[in-house]
Every structure is written in structure tokens, then in C-alpha cells.
Amino acid sequence: MSAWLYALGRWCYRRRKTVIGIWLALLIGLGGAAVAFMGSFNNAFEIPASRSQEALDRLRMTFPEGAALSAMAIVVAPDGQDIEEFRPEVEDAIAEFDDLDMVLAATSPWNEYVSGLISDSGEAAIVQLSLDFEETPTMDDLAPLTQVAEDLEERLPEGAQVSMGGEAYNIELPALTIIEAIGLVVALIVLAVLLGSLVAAGLPLLTAITGVGIAMALMLLMTRLFDINSTTPLLSVMLGLAVGIDYALFILSRHRDQLRDGLDPEESAGRAVGTSGSAVVFAGLTVFIALIGLGVANIPFLTVMGLFAAITVALAVIIALTFLPALMGLLGERMRPKPRKPRKARADSEDGAQKKERKGIFAWWVGVTTTHPIITIVVVVAALVGLTIPTLGLQVALPNAGQQHQGTPARVAYDLLAEEFGPGMNGPIIVTADIIGSTDPLGLLESLKTDIEEMPGVAMVPVAVPNPNADTGMIQLTPTTGPDDPATADLVRALNDKHDEWVEKYGVSTNVTGSTPIQIDVSERLTAALLPFGLLVVGLSLVLLAAVFRSVWVPVKATLGYLLSVGSAFGVTTLVFNYGWFKEIANLEKPMPVISFLPILLMGILFGLAMDYEVFLVSRIREEYVHGKSPVEAIRTGFVASGPVVAAAAIIMFSVFAFFVPEGMGAIKAIALALAVGVAVDAFLVRMTLVPAVMTLLGERAWWLPRWLDKLLPTFDVEGEVLTREVSLRDWPGDDSVVFADGLEVEDVVAPINLRLVPGNVVGLVGPIGARTGTALALSGRLETTGGKARVAGALLPEGASRVRRRVSYVDLATVDDPVAALRATQAGTVVFVDTIERIDTDEAREALDDLIARTTGSGAVVLCAVSEEHLGSFQVDGVYAAPTFEESNA
């Protein structure tokens, strides 16, 4: 992959204007289309196959007024006055509500069949509205309702208050403020310090904003096709900015380092994309998979949220690999850092280099962790476990109006309801009853109503009515507690538990539904999905890191560190949101639950980010170890080299997340805080402190991998080692050969091969079938090699095996029924291997082989494989190569 990315980077650099034009056209085109055709966000939290959702769906068919989207007008009389005094004005407003096309029914608080719509104090009343909307309405859609309420308030005396609220008004539209922009300013400062150039620092911001803009435009367009929750855009913006800046930083910092070393700008852009770009692809892929994996919960709104967040991350990766090198090409030599002033004490000796290496905070940091590894491990693990403990008290719920900012219409109505009618009025519960077999439906509903009123946690039962067909009854009850109170969930469970009792007692089947029970079901479904999702993430982490680092202990250590980071993020979020500690940092007036999907969302996102830092840091350590340094020296040198970039990336990501906490919409606050804490803990305490200490204790064992597992695992080149080797051997062997093998071997199969062929050569390859065929397969890129190197048909082995296979033909006549047809069908590649030529036993077969040789040798070479030289018969060959067996080689 690194070679392909290298070519992509150079192509984008050369065709910079075209690439930049394509991305800008995409941004402008999609943006314009989004403005023209965007739909609305849907804040309905539905959960297929749940008992509460199925009950609501049935209620919509049998009792549409009862299951319709609801709203309410809360009317409060001036202090010391009774709402009854203003009944005529309120009734006039009810008539105006009823005249609106969007209103299915407007229920008066004085309706004889309804109770509980006038407060105990007599100062407040509720007008209930059932609305005819298939999709979540916008505030513009609800403007006629709001206007009726405002007109009513004008007709009432001074001091009276009319507020609109309810389910329809609980929408919190995504919005960005100047506070979130401060995070980008911090990112710009960090980038400028790290890169040493304000112009260079602006590139990651430009690419990240472009990616987020395209993702948002695409999302707005898709609101026509998908039900997209209003939390999704801000989540995608936050995540897109964070990863977009970081991914661009990794590539850009490599580019600047290479320019500092004197590399040509175009070559540097290609190498930066090929090396650091490989790590970016790996990091983006892990985040993408984790976000797509949110679908395991089987909750539509969460699946869609994960999908669009994954698209945003994918765009960040693609833009970093294409748009960024194009911008590098636009700036050209201006990206090259200014020469540093020569140091007085710059010596060529190793001692001088070591003194320089020991300077700086990163050298001091890694020196402490590797000198005192046990103390470091104990302190860090104890601290993070301590932060994780509060997670045991984590409370989750779905968003409601009580979590919105004070002063918003929905929050004002929510607080008025809680103050005048009790907190349960904000979370009514509906019990449906199948009464089609009853001869006394009204009496039956009255009996059910009485039973429900006697249950603990029920404040009142204002509605118990049958539908016009008298086949479905609807009982609406008001809990004593609010919608996000655990006691309300207990009441819902108690009502569900009454099902069998009421079937036996009254002969009717009942179900519990409404927004509150559905939200409880969503929360429980999400909680149940945590374990399988966690196993998926942890399992993926172990496999991917084992494949990347060819180690058992590195992925185990990385995964345990990830779990500590996640636990710490949960713990801090619990302390701030659930317990109210330092709630001012989140601009909270009171403690509140966190959004239900935060745990599963955090696990997915933080997994990808943690693996990003792990790969960037540990791959550099591994590089130093492979080049001959001792384990501790490799840790220290690799840390000093990669630490600044990891720290800068973490600070940037922390800043982007953290500045969404004070002013973000309710659901985003908790997600942003958890991600900010998770990133900071994972980067600075886990990757940059715990990892060096653990690897110091492991020593050589850190890189141990059983041979059987090594063969099973795929190979990932996340730091572009393949590209580095290919670039270093670009001019090797420096002649016109089509095959040049230098010690190429396959462990236990093919002994070291040394062979050179030029265009026009026809040679024989003889030996036992294992050595002979193995040699042919290895040289044709069809058998993975384990040592040495070769250039075949212009491609390097083993790195370019796929390119070799495309350019080199191989046919084994022992495996075909018709040698003549097989030879005629063989493509004349740069090199052609014909195995088992003993089967050339007819004139027609000989003629087909001669034709293949003639088609190939004009610009390539042919290798004829046989058991022995005698079997080459009358073929005219330029030489015979004996494929040595391992026994001969060892002898």
C-alpha cells in the first residue's frame, strides 16, 4: 500500500491545481445542493422490535390521536390569581389551536373526561395538543402554534405567562458558537509552534475544515433519505475537525522534516504520504470500523449516527492523502524550513549526539519512566483505576428539554411544568389495553385506572378513554418523578410486570409505551450492546496490533491501556454530570444523566484514536530496535523522536473536544468531555508514560511472537517500511536485467537464489520439484519470500509481489490437461516461467512453446523448468541454473 500511496502523493503534487479544484468544486457544489434541498432532522428515538415501540405503532393505527406527536401550552395566571378567571381567553385560544391544519385535537384543561390539567394551586393549566406531523417539525413548522400562544399571552393581564412545550418542542438544533472556534485557535498555535511556520500550520486547519464542510453538506442532503438525529452533525463536526487536523499533521510534519534534510519537495510529498499516510490510513480505518460497528446495537438512530461519523472520518483520511499533497505542491519550496543556526558544540562524536538527545522535556520524561518503570506503572495504574471507580454510578438517559440551556422555550416550559405540576408531568406514560372483547369498556378502563393510581410512583391518571371503535383503550398516567429519574424506569418495569396479572384479572392484554418507556428501552438496549461491542473493539485491537507489530505483548499492553483510558473518561464524566463535581466547566446548572449512547460511542471513537497514538509511538520504537539498539535505548530514542508529534496531536484533539463542552448542545457536552478526557489520559498517561515503562520491563520479550501466529496474521506496513526500502533500492541493480535475484529465499522451501536474466535470455531451471517449482513461484511473485531481495520485471521482491504477478507469467504443464492450449493461452509477460517441460512431447506442443518464446524474448526472458538438464532436450538455452535444495546449500 505504501508504494501506491507514494505514487498518489506525487500525482497529487504534480496535478495540484486539478486536485484542489476538484475538492473545492465538491465543497461548493454539495454545499449549494444542501442549502437548496436539505430536509429536517428527526429527534425521534425509535427501537425496532421492542415492546414499547410495537405498542406505540399499534396505537398509531387504532388510536392515532393518542399516539400523535404531542405539544402543550402551559398557561400560568398572575401571582395570587386563579386560572379559572381567564377561562374565556384560554378557551378562545383552544379554538384557534383547533382551527390549525397541523392540530389533530386540542384538549381543554376543563374537559370533563380529562383530569390533572389544572395545577393543585389553581394558578396554572395545560392545553394538550395532538399534532399531525410524520417527520420531526422545525421551529418554522411550529410557528403558528407559537403565534397563538403569544396572542393569548397578550390578551392576559401583566404577570401571566404562556409557554409552548412538549415532545414537539424538545428539538435542540445543532449550532456552533465562538467558544468552539477557540479550540481551532489553540490548534493553530500548537501547529505553528511544532511546524515553525504559520503558513504550514494553516494547512491542517484548511484540510480539516474542507472535510467537515463536505461531510456536513452530504449529511444535510441525506436528511431527505434518512432519519438523522440532531446530535449527529455536531458529533461529526467535532470528530472531523479533531482527526482531520491530526491526520494532516502526521503527514505534514514528516514532509517538513524531509525538506529540512534537503529532499526535493515533490519526492518529499510522495514519501510523506507513502510513510505517514500509511499510518493515517490504518488509524482512520480503525475509527471507521469502530463507528460502523455501532450498528451491533441494532438501533437505527445510532447506526445512522455511526455511519455519518464514519463518512466524516473517511473524508478526513482521503483529504489528507490527496488535498494536502496538492496544497504542498502549491506552496512548493515555501514549505521548506529555514536553516537552523549552527550549534557551537555540534560534534561528530557519539557522545555529543547522546548529550543532545538527553536534552529536552521528552528526553527527561522517557528517562524517568524507563529508569523507574515499576513505580511509574503502579502510580499510573492506581490513578487511572481510581478515576474509573465513579463509573459504577454512571446514569444514562436520552435527551430531554430539561437538559437544554436555560431560557430556551423548551426548557422554560419544562421548568414550568415541573414547578406547577410536578416533575412527572414532563414524562407521561401511556398504558394501552386491548378491550375489543369487553362488554363494558368504560368500566374496564376505570378499573385499570384505579389499579394504576394505587401503584407506588404514580402521581395521577388524568386520562383513561377508549378509541371510537372501542377496541383499544388508552390510559395516560403521570409519574411522581421526572423522565430521566431511575424511579421512573422502575415504574415502567412495574407496569410491564402487571401484564399477566391484568390478563388473569380482566382478560385484557396491556402494554406500556410513550416517549419515556421508549427512551428507557433504548437505554437498556444500548447497555446490553456494550459487552458485544466491547468484545468486538478489544478483539479488533488485539488482532490489528499483533499484525502491525508482530508481537503478543504489545497489543495486550495497548488494549489494557485503552481500557484504562475509557474507564477514566467514563469516571470523570460521571463525576461532572451525574454527581455535579466541577459542573461549572460544562456550564451545568445541576447534575444530570449523560446521553444513553455515550458509553458505546466513546468506546468506538477512543479505540481508533488510541490505536493512532500507539502505532505512531511504538512503530518508531520498533524501528530503532530493528536497527540494532537495545530495548531501553530504542524506547528512549523512539520516544524523543515521536513524542513531540504525539503530544501536539493530543493537545490539538483535546482542545477541539474541550471547547465543545461549555456551550455545546446538551447531548454533545458529555460526549465532548468524555473524549477530551479520554484523549488526554490515553496520550499523556497511557501511551507516553505507561507504555515506555511496561516495554522497559518486557525488554526483548516485547517483540516476541509465536511462529505459528506469525504465519496466520496478515502484514500491515503502517509506517511505510516497504516504501523506504523500495526508495533506497530504486536504482538497484542499475542494469538492463529483467530478473536480478540476490539471496532471495523462502524459509524451509527455497534456498537462497542468485540469478540474473536480461531481455532475450532463454534459460533452464533444473532441480527437484520442491526447489525448482518453489524457485519459479518465488521469482514470479507467487510464493512469499522470507529473505534476500530481487527485482523482477522492474518490481522489487518481496515488496512488489503483486506487481510482479501482473507482469510475469507462470504455467505449470503438469497441472493442465492440454499443454498446447495452455501454452497458447499464456500471456507473453516480461518474464515467462514454463514448468514441467517434460510434457512437451509433440510437435504441436513444441511449436506452441516456440511461439511463446518468440513472443516473449523480444523484450523479456523465458525460464524453462525441468527435473534435470537432460530433460531440456533440444531446447537452445543460454544457460542452466540449478535450483539448490536446502540440503545442498547447508552441505
pLDDT of residue 890: 33
**Which residues fall within 8 angstroms of residue 683, CB to CB, at 6 or more apart?**
613, 646, 647, 649, 650, 654
Same domain, 209 and 301: yes
pLDDT of residue 172: 64
Residue ending a domain, choose from 519, 537, 566: 519
Same domain, 371 and 411: no
Before 733, cis peptide (omega within 30)? Answer: yes
Confirm whether 714 is domain-assigned: no
Confirm whether 57 is domain-assigned: no
pLDDT of residue 43: 66
Calpha distance 418→434 (Å, rounded): 32
One-letter amino acid at 221 equals: L
pLDDT (tens digit per residue) in 538-589:
888 788 888 888 889 988 998 899 999 999 999 999 999 999 898 888 888 8
Phi, psi of 720 (to 5 degrees): 70, 30
**Which residues fall within 8 angstroms of residue 187, CB to CB, at 6 or more apart?**
204, 205, 245, 652, 655, 656
* Secondary structure of 29-57 in HEC code, one letter for each residue: HHHHHHHHHCCCCCCCCCCCCCHHHHHHH
Same domain, 589 and 491: no
C-alpha cell belonging to residue 668: 454533545
Calpha distance 354→199 (Å, rounded): 33
Q: Of the ranges 9-18, 104-113, 165-174, which one carries the lowest mean pLDDT score?
A: 165-174
- Is the Cβ–Cβ distance between 287 and 194 less than 8 Å? no
**Which 8-state DSSP code applies to residue 435?**
-
Q: Nearest-CA neighbor of 660 among 643, 645, 679?
A: 679
C-alpha cell belonging to residue 123: 394558578
Q: Nearest-CA neighbor of 160 among 95, 80, 72?
A: 80
What angle is formed at CA 44 by the lines to CA 43 and CA 46, rounded to 5 degrees?
A: 140
Confirm whether 769 is domain-assigned: yes
pLDDT (tens digit per residue) in 281-326:
888 888 888 888 888 777 888 888 889 999 999 999 999 999 999 9
What's the maximum distance between 2 C-alpha atoms anywhere in the chain?
119
The answer on pLDDT for 886 being more than 50 is: no
C-alpha of 682 from chain center: 17
Whole-number average pLDDT of the chain: 86
Same domain, 215 and 239: yes
Q: What is the dihedral of CA 229, 651, 583, 570, to 10 degrees?
A: 70
Confirm whether 712 is domain-assigned: no
pLDDT (tens digit per residue) in 395-411:
887 777 777 777 778 88
pLDDT of residue 540: 80
Residues in the chain: 891
**Helix or strand run (H / E) with residue 177:** none
Ramachandran category for residue 734: left, alpha or beta (phi over 0 → left; psi -120 to 50 → alpha): left
- Domain of 849, CATH number, reads 3.40.50.300
Q: Nearest-CA neighbor of 251 among 218, 274, 219, 233?
A: 274
Q: Which residues pair with 112 in a beta bridge?
A: none
Domain count, the chain: 4
C-alpha cell belonging to residue 87: 377561562
Confirm whether 346 is domain-assigned: no
Give me the mean pLDDT over the 601-618 stretch: 84
- Is the Cβ–Cβ distance between 172 and 76 less than 8 Å? no
Same domain, 380 and 485: no
Q: How far is the CA of 811 from the CAs of 536, 676, 814, 831, 862, in angstroms?
A: 43, 58, 9, 12, 11
What separation, in Å, do the N-terminal and C-terminal C-alpha atoms of the chain show?
A: 39
Q: How crowded is residue 746: how many other Cβ atoms within 10 Å of its Cβ? A: 21
**Which 8-state DSSP code applies to residue 836?**
-
The answer on pLDDT for 641 being more than 70 is: yes
Before 706, cis peptide (omega within 30)? Answer: no
Pairing type for strands 831-835 and 861-866 reads parallel
- Is the Cβ–Cβ distance between 286 and 279 less than 8 Å? no
pLDDT of residue 665: 65
pLDDT of residue 399: 74
pLDDT of residue 880: 92
Q: How crowded is residue 245: how many other Cβ atoms within 10 Å of its Cβ? A: 31
The answer on pLDDT for 344 being more than 60 is: no
Residue ending a domain, choose from 519, 537, 555: 519
Q: What is the dihedral of CA 355, 356, 357, 360, to 10 degrees?
A: 110
- Domain of 492, CATH number, reads 3.30.70
The answer on pLDDT for 770 being more than 70 is: yes
Confirm whether 722 is domain-assigned: no
pLDDT (tens digit per residue) in 158-213:
989 999 988 787 766 666 667 778 888 888 898 888 888 888 899 999 999 999 99
Reported as a pLDDT band with limits 50, 70 and 90, residue 341 is low
The answer on pLDDT for 354 being more than 60 is: no
C-alpha cell belonging to residue 527: 447497555
Same domain, 748 and 833: yes
> Higher model confidence: residue 3 or residue 146?
146
Same domain, 270 and 303: yes
**Which 8-state DSSP code applies to residue 795?**
E
Confirm whether 562 is domain-assigned: yes
Q: Of the ranges 56-65, 73-82, 218-227, 479-488, which one carries the lowest mean pLDDT score?
A: 56-65
Same domain, 297 and 309: yes
Calpha distance 216→238 (Å, rounded): 11
Count of CA atoms in the C-beta half-sphere (13 A) of 769: 6
Same domain, 509 and 526: no
Find the radius of gyration of the CA atoms of the chain: 35
C-alpha cell belonging to residue 750: 527455497
> Higher model confidence: residue 615 or residue 760?
760
Sign of CA dihedral 799, 804, 806, 811: negative
Domain that holds residue 873: 729-890
What angle is formed at CA 248 by the lines to CA 208 and CA 315, rounded to 5 degrees?
A: 50
Count H helices, E strands: the chain?
31, 19
pLDDT (tens digit per residue) in 480-489:
998 888 899 8
Confirm whether 717 is domain-assigned: no
Same domain, 244 and 151: no
pLDDT of residue 170: 74
- Is the Cβ–Cβ distance between 283 and 608 less than 8 Å? yes
> Higher model confidence: residue 735 or residue 323?
323
Same domain, 537 and 437: no
pLDDT of residue 66: 65
Q: Nearest-CA neighbor of 90 among 144, 128, 131?
A: 128
Predicted structure pTM score: 0.79
Calpha distance 64→171 (Å, rounded): 22
* Alpha helices by DSSP H, 499-514: 499-506
Sheet holding 124-131, edge to edge: 103-107, 124-131, 69-76, 161-165
Q: Nearest-CA neighbor of 45 among 171, 225, 229?
A: 229
Reported as a pLDDT band with limits 50, 70 and 90, residue 765 is very high
- Is the Cβ–Cβ distance between 182 and 131 less than 8 Å? no
Calpha distance 807→820 (Å, rounded): 22
Annotate 293-360 with DSSP letters as a single string: GGGGG--HHHHHHHHHHHHHHHHHHHHHHHHHHHHHHHHGGGGSPPPPPPPTT--SSHHHHHHHHH-S
Residue that the C-alpha cell 399499534 belongs to = 58
C-alpha cell belonging to residue 608: 481508533
pLDDT of residue 78: 92
pLDDT of residue 453: 93
pLDDT of residue 718: 67
Sign of CA dihedral 772, 778, 781, 784: positive
Reported as a pLDDT band with limits 50, 70 and 90, residue 327 is very high
- Is the Cβ–Cβ distance between 165 and 401 less than 8 Å? yes
The answer on pLDDT for 90 being more than 90 is: yes
Same domain, 675 and 536: yes
C-alpha cell belonging to residue 244: 482531520
The answer on pLDDT for 218 being more than 60 is: yes
**Helix or strand run (H / E) with residue 120:** none
Give me the mean pLDDT over the 785-797 stretch: 89
Calpha distance 384→434 (Å, rounded): 53
The answer on pLDDT for 352 being more than 50 is: no
Q: How far is the CA of 757 from the CAs of 176, 674, 726, 866, in angstroms?
A: 65, 61, 21, 18
Reported as a pLDDT band with limits 50, 70 and 90, residue 359 is low
Residue ending a domain, choose from 474, 495, 519: 519
One-letter amino acid at 281 equals: V
Q: How far is the CA of 637 from the CAs of 257, 357, 423, 711, in angstroms?
A: 17, 8, 60, 30
Reported as a pLDDT band with limits 50, 70 and 90, residue 24 is very high
Calpha distance 399→593 (Å, rounded): 9
Give me the mean pLDDT over the 209-226 stretch: 90
The answer on pLDDT for 358 being more than 80 is: no
Sign of CA dihedral 572, 574, 577, 578: negative
Sign of CA dihedral 358, 363, 365, 366: negative
Calpha distance 794→800 (Å, rounded): 9
